[in-house]
Structures are given as structure tokens and as C-alpha cells.
Amino acid sequence: MKFFLDTASLEEISEAVSWGAVAGVTTNPTLYARVGGKLQDFEQHIKKICALVKGPVSAEVTAPDTAGMLAEGRALASLADNVAVKVPLTLDGLAATRALANEGIEVNMTLVFSVPQAILAARAGARYVSPFVGRFDDIAEDGIEQLSNIVMALGNYDFAEDGPRGTSGPHGRGVEVIAASIRNPNHVTQAALVGADIATVPFGVLKKCAVHPLTTNGLAAFEADWEKVKQA
């Protein structure tokens, strides 16, 4: 499973890239607002993120209709080679995805909550499909079970011909599943166990993933014993 970082913070991205695990970045309007982003700076901000990471950077359209999504999507895709246009799973979003994929533009379909939605996204040519795990948990449903269903269902088929320029993804599917709305390290564990291709993880959660009390305790013991060695 690859890690994407779910943030619009340049500082967080720079630091996490130095850890070696960040294969891409996902942003959304909420994450951009959280870093105090202004409308007029949005495109420059996306360019800066694209320069920090080698992998895909998801930048989301905000128009509600296909024509608006298409115009925004083309503009976003022109900002850098590694932009993936993020499009919500609506009927307008599916039409925009099909048109963008036909132009060879990678699309990440977001706000995906069901197997039928995921299959529609893949057939519309989305390169990435993003089921939201935590938001299911928020309404007392099992987000990992929904994610698992989507991974299994998409794994039954080959969507390569549907994707931009016939893109072939892992397992020959032509589409990758991004476990999104990840809230804790256990979500990361479960996403990996059910075979999600990618987990997009907030900075704080990625940091927690590196921490284990036995690692901390073990290191403290090594340090104490090394002091004894130095004084022997």
C-alpha cells in the first residue's frame, strides 16, 4: 500500500516527504481553507505542492455542473504534470470524469460511499477512486467494511481500457483505490489488510504510525545500557 498525504500544508508535505513514504498528496477545499488559503492563491499553491512531491497531487474542482468541472479540471491539469483532478461522485462529476479521461487527464473521484458508485467511477475512466472510511464510522457504520467491498468489487474487473490513455493500474485493474478519511493508525492497518492500493493520511496520523511504545521503551533501554558501556 502506498501513502498519500491528506493535507494542503506545504510544511507538512515537506517534512513528510523527508521521511520517504509520501507517494502523492490529496487536497480538498476544506484542507485548503484549513491552511488559510485564498482563492487567488489557489493555483500557485497547487503548483508549489506539485514541486514538492513526485507523485500525483489531487486538486479538487468546485463547480457543481459538468461544464464548470471540465473548465476547472483542464485548468488544474495544466498547472503541473502530476496533477490529478479531484471530482465528486455525482452524475455531473461522472460526465466530467469521462471527458477529462478522454483527454488523458487523471481523475480522482471523491466522496465515494458505495460499490455501485465506485464501479461507475471506474467505468467513467477515473484513475483513482476514493472511498471515505472515517465518515462512515462517524454515522455508526463500518467504513473499513465498505472499503473492503469496494476493493473486492473493483478487483473482479479490468478497467484499464476505461482509463486515461488506457492506463493500467496495479492488479491490471486500471484504477487504484485510495482509502480516504483516515483518522487513526488502525484505519491504516485495516486499509492495508483489505488491500487498498493507497491510504491518504493526515500528517498527524502518519506521524502516529511511526510510533510504538515498545520502540520508545526499547530505545530508552539501549540508551541507558550504552551509558553503562561508556562508563565501564
Binder of ligand G3P out of 76, 200, 206, 209 (CB under 6 A): 200
Burial of 224 (0-12, 13-18, 19+ CB in 10 A): exposed
State which amino acid sits at residue 153. A
Kindly indicate which of the ranges 7-15, 65-73, 131-139, 159-167 contains the residues binding ligand G3P, using the contact rule CB under 6 A: 131-139
Would you count residue 181 as binding ligand G3P (CB under 6 A)? yes
Q: How far is CA 73 from CA 7, 66, 101, in A?
A: 19, 10, 11
C-alpha cell at 88: 465528486
**Secondary structure of residue 36 in the 3-state scheme:** coil
Site residues (CB under 6 A) for ligand G3P, limited to 11-30: 26, 28
Binder of ligand G3P out of 29, 134, 155, 185 (CB under 6 A): 134
The smaller minimum CB distance to ligand G3P, of residues 17 and 160, is found at 17
Would you count residue 2 as binding ligand G3P (CB under 6 A)? no
- Interface characters, 90-129, with ligand G3P (x: CB under 6 A): ----------------------------------------
Task: Centre a 10 Å sphere on the Cβ of residue 185 and count the other Cβ atoms it contains.
Answer: 17
Q: 198 φ, ψ to 5°?
A: -145, 145
Q: Number of residues in contact with ligand G3P, rule: CB under 6 A?
A: 9
Would you count residue 32 as binding ligand G3P (CB under 6 A)? no
Binder of ligand G3P out of 13, 16, 121, 180 (CB under 6 A): 180
DSSP character string of 43-102: HHHHHHHHHH-SS-EEEE---SSHHHHHHHHHHHHTT-TTEEEEEESSHHHHHHHHHHHH
The smaller minimum CB distance to ligand G3P, of residues 3 and 132, is found at 132
Per CB under 6 A, residues contacting ligand G3P are 6, 26, 28, 132, 134-135, 180-181, 200
Residues with catalytic function: 86
